[in-house]
Structure 1
Amino acid sequence: MDIESLEKEFRKKVCDKIELFPEGKDRFVISAPFTFEDGDFLNVVLKKNGAGWYFTDEGHTFMHLSYDDLDFERGKRKEIINSVLKTHYLENDSGELKCTVEDNYFSDAFYTFIQGLIKVTDIAFTKRERIRSLFYEEFEEYLRNFFGDKCIFDYKEPNKDPGGKYPVDCYVENEVPLFIFGIYNNDKCRDAMITCLTYERWGFSFTSIGIFENQEDINKKVLARFSDVIEKQYSNLSASKERLPDYIKKIHILS
């Protein structure tokens, strides 16, 4: 392989500050000025696979994002990433992102690969609120389909709490109403607990349920206090979809 010619091709196609360094047999590390939000550089390597070549991040991108507690392996998060990978012709091989060089079009594949990695990191670092909202979209969609018109989302008690300091994520109308909370982090877990305790202090009767985005992410002490207050909880949305219907039948919450 003619490294100098390939460097010139990459510089012309992508940017001037690109260098190739041979490391091992049929393996070239590519130095390029593309970084994560924290300043760490994207990892790009060109490797040979049989008769062909491919670009790879060697698993670095998802590993780096995992340090920031960003998980793209569940629900709509996974759908977003899969859509990005498909658009940029990238393959997710057990966490390693790859792009095959077709017909020796190295510069085109390199450009596509870089664009795909940048798009993935953009989603991670600039759309955290959007990613969080995806959990609530799934949460609301499921509960609306299950309970129908009985659902009131982001409920505020009009007499005791007109300012909305103690909202209920999903209030299900019933003789004894159902309070359902979507829990995605420690603060939200504490807020839901405080809301339940406040409604108890006000003298309201209700049945409380917590549905976690991922219960394993919650601090053990926070979860322990929450468990003392909440009546039923599910470790994630999938668990709630599987088991909530039976629980509702068991307690005869809906008449």
Structure 2
Amino acid sequence: MREILEILQKQCSQKIGLREKRPNVWQVLIPFYHEDGDMVEVFITPLGNNLFRISDYGLTLMRLSYSYDIDTPNKERIFNSIISSYNIQNERGILFLDTELEHLYPALMQFIGVILKVSNMKLYKREVIQSLFFEMLDDFVFTNLAQYEPKKNFHPLPDMPEYEVNYCFNHSRVPVYLFGVNNSSTARLTIISCQKFIIEKLKFRSVTVLESLDCLSRNDQKRLMTAVDKVFPEFTEFEKNGVDYIRREMEILG
């Protein structure tokens, strides 16, 4: 590994070293640190044929789990977006990147940058994480329900644009209105809109997809379930059963 160290030292403007942790596994000693002052732990393993694997041996996600859980679809999406945008692989919680010798140093810097981003996921504002719910819902609707020609940001009462439907299906006949809800504000807007449509004697069916039940108080849950025809309590449930449900609704409504 002396040759590898010399190459890294030539390319690196900072002090860098290698320490053998076990046979064929070398820890990179380089001054990049977590917020608490601990050095970022990165390892290099020769794979042969001029290839090397840069890995964290699962330490990044283990460290993150002490203060933050990737326990929702939105958090998973953020995590996967971070690592995939830098071509980092995830194998059972172990992050790694394979690279050739001539690209070892830039790949190492890229990998360390990803480690620091993942380690700081707990600093993401809740609003940012929640906002991804609507991106996920949008992707699902236009990918899996495109055959029903969904209309986004639909206004059943053209003169009253404040009453908006996130997605409308079957708009030329009896429509199905789909609402996304991720907090009490969007829940109450959905309730008010559906009540207004009923007062105006519109014919429609209403479906609401919650980010999760935890995003609403029990009172808001009760009000919402009274106001709409169908509630999916989790986005993951809508992913699993939403296509069949919308298909049945469309067949009934004609």
Aligned counterpart, 2:245: 243
Change (3 A) 1:53 1:119: closer
Give the 5 Å matches for 1:197-208: 197-208=195-206
Alpha-carbon RMSD? 4.4
Range with greater deviation from structure 2 (224-233 or 111-120):
111-120
Question: Aligned partners of 1:113 and 1:186: how far apart in 2?
Answer: 44
Cα distance in 2, alignment partners of residues 187 and 12 from structure 1 = 56
Structure 2 Cα separation of the partners of residues 201 and 40 of structure 1: 61
Q: Would you say the 8 A contact 1:44–1:57 is kept in 2?
A: yes
In 2, Cα distance between equivalents of 1:219 and 1:143: 27
For 2:110 and 2:43, locate their aligned partners in 1 and report how far apart those are by CA, in whole Å: 16
1:59 and 2:61 equivalent? Answer: no
Question: Are residue 171 (structure 1) and residue 182 (structure 2) matched?
Answer: no
1:108 paired residue among 100, 103, 110: 103
Q: Which position in structure 2 is the counterpart of 1:84?
A: 85
Q: Which amino acid aligns with 2:212?
A: Q
Kindly report which structure 2 residues correspond to 1:126-141, keeping only aligned pairs within 5 A, or say none.
131-132=132-133, 134-141=135-142
Structure 2 unaligned blocks of 5 or more:
none
Q: Distance in 2 between matches of 1:9 and 1:197?
A: 69
Inter-CA distance 109–242: structure 2 relative to 1 (3 Å threshold) = farther
Distance in structure 1 (CA, Å) of the matches to 2:144 and 2:16 = 51
Measured after TM superposition, the shift of residue 186 of structure 1 is: 5.4
Other-structure match for 1:45: 42
Flag the 1:20–1:189 CA change in 2: closer, same or farther, 3 A. farther
User: Structure 1 residues 97 and 179 mapped into 2: Cα distance closer, same or farther (>3 Å)?
Assistant: same
Would the alpha carbon gap of residues 225 and 133 (structure 1) be closer, same or farther in structure 2, given more than 3 Å must change?
Answer: closer
Note the C-alpha offset of 1:99: 2.2
SS in 2 for 1:71: helix
Q: Is the contact between residue 97 and residue 111 of structure 2 (CA under 8 Å) also seen in structure 1? A: no
Name the count of aligned residue pairs: 232
TM-score (norm 2): 0.64
CA distance in 1: counterparts of 2:201 and 2:37, whole angstroms = 53
Conservation of the 8 A alpha-carbon contact between 2:54 and 2:111? no
Contact 1:28-1:47 at 8 Å conserved across structures: yes
Q: CA deviation at 1:118?
A: 3.4
8 Å Cα contact 2:42/2:112 also seen in 1 = no
For 1:145, give the aligned amino acid.
Answer: A
- 1:46 CA drift (Å): 0.9
Query: Per the alignment, do residues 56 and 82 of structure 1 end up closer, same or farther by CA in structure 2, a change over 3 Å counting?
Result: closer
Would the aligned equivalents of 2:14 and 2:30 in 1 still touch at CA under 8 Å? no
Long gaps (5+) in structure 1: none
1:50–1:136 CA distance, 2 compared to 1 (3 A) = closer
* Shift in CA distance, 247/133, structure 1 to aligned 2, threshold 3 Å: closer
Matched residues in 1 for 2:39 and 2:201: separation?
56
Q: Aligned partners of 1:39 and 1:184: how far apart in 2?
A: 33
Q: Is residue 32 of structure 2 the alignment partner of residue 28 of structure 1?
A: no
Instruction: Identify the residue that residue 76 of structure 2 maps to in structure 1.
Output: 72
- TM-score (norm: length of structure 1): 0.64
